[in-house]
Amino acid sequence: MTSQPLDRALVEEAAKKSGLLWVRGAEASAARAVWHVWHEGAVCLVGDGPGEQPLPGLADGGAAEVTVRSKDKGGRLVSFPATVTELAAGTPEWAAAVAELKGKRLNAPDAERMPDRWARECRVLRLVPAGPVAALPDGDLAERPVATPATTRRPVPAALPKLLARRRKGR
């Protein structure tokens, strides 16, 4: 856990309120946005399975850098180092974390069977804060987005804004 009581309080409050954070594993080159829950003093994640978020560079016993964003403005609130622990499926710790994660998982195709699928095909990780919070940076930390095959099909037609404006006037 972080060393200062105020650091712990800041990390906990920020992680509880934000539904999205950025995680960079020790072996990963870029931070990745992930959804999470705050449970029993740690950030809990599920992923690395079909239809779930990827968790590259996060290994059991490894280290990670976690950055929590503001829910309303989207800006950086706090960054802290964390220790990664993979929870074994079927343990009481795993069941408690999965119960919290299940409530936050949106648009799951198999809501009732989701914990069974997670036990078979996914990893559930706990990221426990391990050190003081990092100082806020002075400069811009923007990075290129992670490569993805997802693209738009074609550019927006030039006449579309005019058509939409005309439709609004007709109402």
DSSP per-residue letters across 42-81: EEEEEESSTTS---TT--TT-EEEEEEE-TTT--EEEEEE
Q: How many CA atoms lie within 13 A of 136 on its CB side?
A: 7
Indicate if the alpha-carbon torsion angle 147, 151, 155, 157 is positive or negative.
negative
List the chain domain ranges: 5-169
Query: Quick one: pLDDT band at residue 136, thresholds 50, 70, 90?
Result: confident
| Structure confidence at residue 100 (pLDDT) | 94
Interior angle at CA 19, CA 136 and CA 90, nearest 5: 115
Classified as helix, coil or strand, 109 is: coil
Length of the chain as a residue count: 171
Average of per-residue pLDDT across 135-152: 76
| Structure confidence at residue 166 (pLDDT) | 77
Which H helix or E strand runs over 87? strand 76-87
Fold of 5-169: Pnp Oxidase; Chain A (2.30.110)
149 against 78, higher pLDDT: 78
Q: Tell me: the pLDDT tens digits for 9-33?
A: 999 999 999 989 999 998 777 888 9
| Structure confidence at residue 171 (pLDDT) | 60
Q: Tell me: the pLDDT tens digits for 47-94?
A: 998 889 999 889 999 999 999 988 888 788 899 999 999 999 999 999
Kindly give the interhelix angle for 92-104 and 114-121, rounded to the nearest 10 degrees: 120
Neighbours of 32 (CB within 10 A): 18
Question: For residue 1, is pLDDT > 70?
Answer: no
Q: Tell me: the pLDDT tens digits for 98-126?
A: 999 998 888 887 888 999 999 999 999 99
